Amino acid sequence: MANEEWWRGAVIYQVYPRSFIDTSGDGVGDLAGITQNLDYVASLGVDGFWVSPFFPSPMKDFGYDVADYCNVDPLFGTLDDFDALVARAHDLGLKVIIDQVYSHTSDRHAWFEESRQSRENPRADWYVWADAQPDGSPPNNWQSIMGIPAWTWDARRQQYYLHNYLAEQPDLNLHNAEVQDALLDVARFWLERGVDGFRLDAIHCGMHDPQLRDNPPALGEARGETRPYYMQTQQYNMCHDDLPTVLERLREVLDTYDDILTVAEVGSPDPLPLMKDYTQGSRRLHTAYGFDFLSAATLDKALVKDTLSGWPGESGEGWPSWAFSNHDAPRVASRWCQDLEHGRRVRLIALLQVALRGNMFLYQGEELGLTQALIPFEKLQDPEGINNWPHGLGRDGARTPMPWQSAAAFAGFSRQEPWLPIAEDHLALAVDAQERDPDSILNLFRELIGLRRRHPALRCGDLDFLEAPENVLAFTRTYEGETLHCVFNLGGSAASWNPGDVVFHASAGLGDKQRVSGLPSWSGYIGALADD
């Protein structure tokens, strides 16, 4: 490829370490387990993998409440285990991406423990503190996404502190240059250990409005009633206009190292403007993803066209990334595949993923077609799920352990009962069962990822939509003289449209056909015109 940026169009596999594989026998996955199974990750054909937090933490939010940015929680192993993981990954040609949580810490972090002691200490302004209103109520009306107020009273300082998530996750004050400096030192620590990039968690929450203005109420379709957070427009508690200056400081550090990737998670209700702002030009982040697909209850033509059309490839524009599943969203095999055509849909969705312009993030188990597990209330671990029961089932159903062996105890994940139960229907989808089946979803993903690697048009080419009938999504991917046609019937009835005599490179729902002769429901193909 003429394009030498390894990350542009890359396929990144997300590892959720608690649920990947347990080698210590405590029912929780660990770094040694990831290292042990990196051959499997490499066999998928991916460019690298992203590891969710493994840092010391009270685990109130399962690692996203960081108590020490520069170490490994004993639950997952040691720094030596992390170094071994990086070394093995690089031996296999895999890039290593790790989470960086810059918007908040744990309330057990040494920075916060010092900050809360008084209003005059050296770190007094490292977090977001504010006085009570005259009646003792919080400084404003901001709400946490966790279904609780965004302010908690602290008796030591006689002030409230801000938290966009749990009360145990106080927000850092990124307006403070000393806080920025400290986080840049954290980045350097991991870059020196050989990581190839960072995924910036909830970075849009990193800066608040210093005037602490009330959020306005959400109106119309934007208003949700399941929790107070969705009854407001998140205008002032996050997404401050000065945040890109912090990203530019981070990029300056990253550019002193070779081939580093930064990807921002942008969970804002209106992510596109922020994603483009955070990745604009060459001085900010490389790429970003939002929840366009992750939060969509159904897959249809309009969703894909509206989402992809926001990234036309204009000069100075950043590069998008897309995830259909992750540790925070219900698995796509349940959200978009609810009917009897489940298997056909899973295969077509896999075909669509590799065809989209942008980086592809593949969540562990997605390559197996795992469905969302149903976790009874008494076994829930996720604080969001517990706080919002029964209106939201939480995130546990997407975080259950990987099934490695269909007939083994606990599906080969651990020698003892795992931290979350393994879904019964996941056993038939275990890795060993799918390895034996050449037509399995696992082997389809390997085939499709290989196709993407072989064709620069899929990896980094332009995307242009074609006019097609209702429910038929069609576009071309073009790069340096190669044009591929990508056609998907996303409807429940057959369609006869096609762009010409196409020779398939890959298909779903079409059997062994090599030419277009009609599109059954939930079928599609990637191919080239026969005369090209």
Catalytically active residues are 201, 265
User: CA geometry: angle at 178 spanning 177 and 182, to 5°?
Assistant: 115
Helices (H), ranges, 207-283? 243-254, 271-279
Read off φ and ψ for residue 502, nearest 5 degrees: -105, 135
- Residues with Cβ within 8 Å of residue 284, at least 6 apart in sequence: 244, 247, 248, 251, 277, 278, 318
DSSP-assigned letters across all residues of 115-135: HTT-SSSTTTTSB-EEPPPTT
Tokens 């991916």, located at residue = 46
DSSP 425: G
- Helix H or strand E segment including 19: none
Q: Nearest to residue 112, comparing CAs of 121, 123, 101, 103?
A: 123
Asked if 356 and 473 count as a contact pair (C-beta separation under 8 A), the reply is: no
99 three-state secondary structure: strand
Does residue 112 contact residue 106 with C-beta atoms inside 8 Å? yes
Collapse the DSSP code of 272 into the 3-class scheme (helix H, G, I; strand E, B; otherwise coil) and give the result: helix
CA angle 103, 372, 424 (to 5 degrees): 135
Q: How far apart are CA 371 and CA 431, in angstroms?
A: 14
Backbone angles phi and psi of 441, in degrees to 5: -65, -40
Q: Which residues of 233-248 are buried (b: 16+ CB within 10 A; e: fewer)?
A: ebebbbbbeebbebbe
Grouping H, G, I as helix, E, B as strand and the rest as coil, residue 446 is helix
Omega of the bond prior to 271 within 30 degrees of 0, cis?
A: no
Q: What share of the chain is helix, strand, coil (3-state, %, to 5)?
A: 30, 15, 55
**448-477 b/e (C-beta count within 10 Å ≥ 16 → b):** bbebbbebbbbbbbebeeeebeebbbbbbb
- Nearest Cα to 492, choosing from 355, 348, 295, 330? 348
**Host H or E run for residue 377:** none
Instruction: Name the nearest CA neighbour of 82 among 66, 65, 67, 99.
Output: 99
Lookup: tokens for 446: 């390997």
Cβ count near 392 (within 10 Å) = 15
